[in-house]
Structure formats: structure tokens, C-alpha cells
């Protein structure tokens, strides 16, 4: 049975309140997560609204372009099949170094899903919170941006997703085809 990193929502309420969307300037939440996480069974966590499954969500930028993925039918999360995503990431499982479980989990997910050469340090932007869907109500995204060149990135898990670089201007037009977190990220990027 898969176990996933999660934190009780009660631990996060002090920092998040009832805010929704991309919530910037929440770096203290990383410390709260690091002190309070556990690894429940994923199957239980997917329907337990007392817990937030923590998902590092990395947006790849190259000048005025963003890396966009389409989730294919072989991907685990059936509720996201066919949708576009501007974020790369996923659940953090046991076995990563406890000293920095979030950074290790981010790196592991990034390298599982894409091939990436040189890139700058991930920049923490804030958290993504969205109670509008069943999927997003049990997850909290940790939004990071990585800046790189377009030549440095390609999809690794080609049976689960396809992807490529799109201008930020064109990505905005693709919003109707995006999963909810990606829509929130695009709104944040356009309005900041």
C-alpha cells in the first residue's frame, strides 16, 4: 500500500486561514510541514478531509515560455486524465531523507517525470489551495519555479504524459483545458 506525506489541516489553518488560490509569501509553512508530517495510506488520505497531502508543484520557465504537460490515460490519477498541467510533481513517499523531506521529494518527482539538464535552484513561490474539486480538497501544493533553457527539458514518462514549451501568452489561452491548480497558477503568473 502506497504511503504519502500529509499534514493535518488543523496545523496549517493558522497560516492559511480560509484563503484559496496561490497564496504567496508563506515560507513559514515549510517549517510547519517539516515538524508535523506523517505518512498515511494514500487510499485513505484521498478521502480524508482532515489531512492535506503535500505535493511539490514545479513550474518550468524559459524566458517567456512555460513547460506544459498533458496527462494521458496511463497516469495513476484518473480524475486528471486528458487535462493540461503547468506543474510537475507528485506525492512524497517514505524513504526520502528526513532532514529535508520536501526538497528531496521535489527532486525525486521532478526527475521521475522529466529529463532535465542544467537548471537554477527551485524558487519557492507559495502554496496552492483549492477546495473546488475532490482531488484538490485533499491536497496542498507547494509552488516552485525553476528557470532553465528549453533545450534542457523533455518528458521522461512518455507513456503517462506528453509535453512541450508554450509561450506564456498561448498558455493563457489553454486554461480551459487545464486542471484546477494550473488554472490558479496561470492566473497568479498573469496578475503578479
Half-sphere exposure of 45 (CA within 13 A, CB side): 27
> In which band, very low, low, confident or very high, does the pLDDT at 102 lie, cut at 50, 70 and 90?
confident
Q: Does residue 81 have a pLDDT over 70?
A: no
Which one is predicted more confidently, 81 or 69? 69
Buried residues in 133-171 as b, exposed as e (16+ CB within 10 A): eebbebbbbbbbbbebeeeebebebeebbebebbeeeeb
Q: How many domains does the chain have?
A: 1
Between CA 165 and CA 50 the distance in angstroms is: 37
Residue 35 CB partners (closer than 8 Å, separation 6+):
none
104 in a structural domain: yes
175 in a structural domain: yes
Q: Does residue 98 have a pLDDT over 80?
A: no
Give the pLDDT confidence of 55-74 residue by residue, as tens digits: 999 999 999 999 999 887 66
> In which band, very low, low, confident or very high, does the pLDDT at 41 lie, cut at 50, 70 and 90?
very high
84 in a structural domain: yes
pLDDT of residue 145: 95
Mean per-residue pLDDT, 114-141: 90
Residue 98 CB partners (closer than 8 Å, separation 6+):
none
- pTM to 2 decimals? 0.91
Give the pLDDT confidence of 138-189 residue by residue, as tens digits: 999 999 999 998 888 999 988 888 999 999 999 999 999 999 999 999 999 8
CATH of the domain at 52: 3.90.79.10
% the chain with pLDDT above 90: 56
25, burial (CB in 10 Å: exposed 0-12, middle 13-18, buried 19+): exposed
Structural domain of 140: 6-191
Contact present, 16 and 24 (Cβ < 8 Å): no
Mean per-residue pLDDT, 16-33: 89
133 in a structural domain: yes
**Measured distance between the N- and C-terminal CA atoms of the chain, rounded to whole angstroms:** 41
Which one is predicted more confidently, 75 or 58? 58
171 in a structural domain: yes
> In which band, very low, low, confident or very high, does the pLDDT at 75 lie, cut at 50, 70 and 90?
low
1 in a structural domain: no
What average pLDDT is seen over the chain? Answer: 89
103 in a structural domain: yes
Amino acid at each position: 500500500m502506497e504511503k504519502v506525506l500529509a499534514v493535518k489541516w488543523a496545523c496549517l489553518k493558522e497560516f492559511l486561514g480560509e484563503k484559496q488560490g496561490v497564496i504567496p509569501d508563506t515560507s513559514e509553512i515549510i517549517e510547519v510541514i517539516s515538524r508535523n508530517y506523517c505518512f498515511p495510506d494514500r487510499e485513505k488520505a484521498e478521502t480524508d478531509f482532515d489531512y492535506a497531502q503535500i505535493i511539490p508543484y514545479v513550474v518550468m520557465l524559459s524566458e517567456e515560455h512555460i513547460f506544459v504537460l498533458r496527462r494521458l490515460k496511463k497516469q495513476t490519477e484518473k480524475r486528471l486524465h486528458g487535462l493540461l498541467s503547468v506543474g510537475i510533481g507528485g506525492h512524497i513517499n517514505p524513504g526520502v531523507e528526513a532532514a529535508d523531506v520536501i526538497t528531496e521529494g521535489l527532486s525525486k518527482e521532478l526527475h521521475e517525470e522529466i529529463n532535465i539538464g542544467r537548471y537554477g535552484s527551485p524558487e519557492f513561490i507559495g502554496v496552492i489551495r483549492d477546495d473546488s474539486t475532490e482531488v484538490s480538497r485533499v491536497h496542498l501544493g507547494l509552488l516552485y519555479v525553476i528557470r532553465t533553457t528549453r533545450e534542457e527539458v523533455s518528458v521522461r514518462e512518455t507513456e503517462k504524459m506528453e509535453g512541450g514549451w508554450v509561450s506564456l501568452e498561448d498558455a493563457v489561452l489553454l486554461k480551459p483545458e487545464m486542471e484546477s491548480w494550473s488554472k490558479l497558477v496561470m492566473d497568479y503568473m498573469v496578475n503578479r
